[in-house]
């Protein structure tokens, strides 16, 4: 795998940070997740391929343990607000002094500077501040989709990209660097097409070519209460759409006659409502009409195309999830199929690998600097209270 041998120390957080770490782990990095003591279980759901070390960073000796880990690591991934790591004496100026090759990835909501840098936020807030939320929703109100766009696209994935670029640059300079990845700027960058194609968005929300305004680029309900997605933008694809619907173009307004879009949409609504999703799939499958079924997660995992490509994987607990992407021809990701680690399951194992003696480990345990929670123990559901780090 392309990241084999890369050591990553991930400070446990929610959503974007764990996703970034999972991407790195899927492609071969050895990811150690540093959890807080005294929690109630891993709620990130994104710990595939990682190992867990419970470490109390609020104690000076706990911070010292992390410094020792980072002295031998390639990447540290921290998801906290500006200033948190500096208060713990774990900022980049300290860690990179001890390890100049360390890549220090900071993943936050608003970035490491600016008036919002110390504020709390969530996906909807980052979407709003980036300008993207203004383009999503109905003509009456913007609405936030599930937290994929800012948290995972603009946050976790952009941070992973930054880490990859920093690793590549290090092969030439031999030096690490600090990455300021944040959801506001990340999702704004994702929206570059919106910024550079503003003529496409001149009408109110929901009335433009690509946001549901066009009758040939939207979703329709079928006779059985299911849905079909239509994306027949190009004229030749639009003709195939009309053919499948049993309509004739010479009996309809021109495709791009925007003043007729509302009545065209009503017509398409009536036609789609006459057949089931399965019947429409039979009509449109194998054509270039750009009409596809709206699948549930279960349907997506069992769809013929996805099955043929192996697009979804099943772990040892029979949980189904997407296969890592993209697919590399020579060094593809090999995701772990084992269960996610328990919090603190690998504490002693990790410290031994990083050069700690058994005597040091025993003392850290005794002093409650670390916790060692084995599978089946009563501590097997501990989870770090990451909210405490955000205060």
Q: What is the DSSP string of 192-242?
A: HHHHHTGGGG-SPTTSSTTTT-STTEEEEE-TTS-EEEEE--SHHHHHHHH
Count CB atoms within 10 A of the CB of residue 143: 11
Contact of 121 with 145, CB cutoff 8 Å? no
Contact of 154 with 186, CB cutoff 8 Å? yes
How many residues belong to the chain? 391
Q: Could you tell me which of 21, 49, 46, 26 has the C-alpha nearest to residue 327?
A: 26
* 3 state DSSP class of 143: coil
% helix, strand, coil for the chain, step of 5: 40, 15, 45
Q: How far apart are CA 170 and CA 175, in angstroms?
A: 5
Contact of 8 with 30, CB cutoff 8 Å? yes
Q: Is there a catalytic annotation at residue 180?
A: no
Location of structure tokens 């929206």: 191
* 3 state DSSP class of 322: strand
Q: Is there a catalytic annotation at residue 254?
A: no
Q: Is the peptide bond before 47 cis (omega within 30 degrees of 0)?
A: no
φ, ψ for residue 308, nearest 5 deg: -65, -35
Point out the catalytic residue in the list 45, 122, 260, 303. 122
Q: How far apart are CA 66 and CA 73, in angstroms?
A: 10
Point out the catalytic residue in the list 56, 74, 123, 151. 151
Sheet holding 30-35, edge to edge: 178-182, 103-108, 75-78, 7-11, 30-35, 50-55, 370-371
DSSP secondary structure letter of residue 137: B
Q: How far apart are CA 236 and CA 226, in angstroms?
A: 26
Active site residues: 122, 151
């Amino acid at each position: 795998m392309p990241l084999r041998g890369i050591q990553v120390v991930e400070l446990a957080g929610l959503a974007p940070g764990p996703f970034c770490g999972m991407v790195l782990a899927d492609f071969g990095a050895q990811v150690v997740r540093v959890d807080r003591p005294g929690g109630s279980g891993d709620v990130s759901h994104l710990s595939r391929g990682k190992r867990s070390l419970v470490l109390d960073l609020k104690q000076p000796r706990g911070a010292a343990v992390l410094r020792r880990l980072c002295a031998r690591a390639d990447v540290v991934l921290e998801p906290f607000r500006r200033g948190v790591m500096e208060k713990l004496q774990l900022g980049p100026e300290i860690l990179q002094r001890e390890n100049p090759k360390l890549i220090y990835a900071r993943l936050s909501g608003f970035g490491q500077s600016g008036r919002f840098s110390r504020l709390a936020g969530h996906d909807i807030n980052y979407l709003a501040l980036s300008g993207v939320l203004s383009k999503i929703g109905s003509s009456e109100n913007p609405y936030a989709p599930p937290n994929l766009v800012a948290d995972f696209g603009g946050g976790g994935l952009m941070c992973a990209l930054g880490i990859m670029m920093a690793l590549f640059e290090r092969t030439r300079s031999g030096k690490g660097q600090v990455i300021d990845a944040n959801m506001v700027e990340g999702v704004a960058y994702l929206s570059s097409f919106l910024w550079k194609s503003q003529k496409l968005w001149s009408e109110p929300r929901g009335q433009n070519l690509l946001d549901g305004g066009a009758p040939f680029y939207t979703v329709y309900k079928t006779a059985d209460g299911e849905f079909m997605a239509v994306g027949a933008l190009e004229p030749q694809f639009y003709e195939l759409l009309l053919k499948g619907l049993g309509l004739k173009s010479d009996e309809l307004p021109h495709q791009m006659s925007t003043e007729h879009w509302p009545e065209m949409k009503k017509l398409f609504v009536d036609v789609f409502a006459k057949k089931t999703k399965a019947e429409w799939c039979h009509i449109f499958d194998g054509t270039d009409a750009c009409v596809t079924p709206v699948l549930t997660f279960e349907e997506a995992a069992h769809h013929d195309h996805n099955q043929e490509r192996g697009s979804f994987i099943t772990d040892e607990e029979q949980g189904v999830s997407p296969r890592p992407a993209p697919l590399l021809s020579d060094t593809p990701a090999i995701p772990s199929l084992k269960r996610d680690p328990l919090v603190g399951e690998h504490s002693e194992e990790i410290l031994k690998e990083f050069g700690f003696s058994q005597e040091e480990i025993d003392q850290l345990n005794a002093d409650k600097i670390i916790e060692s929670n084995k599978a089946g123990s009563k501590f097997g559901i501990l989870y770090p209270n990451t909210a405490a780090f955000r205060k």
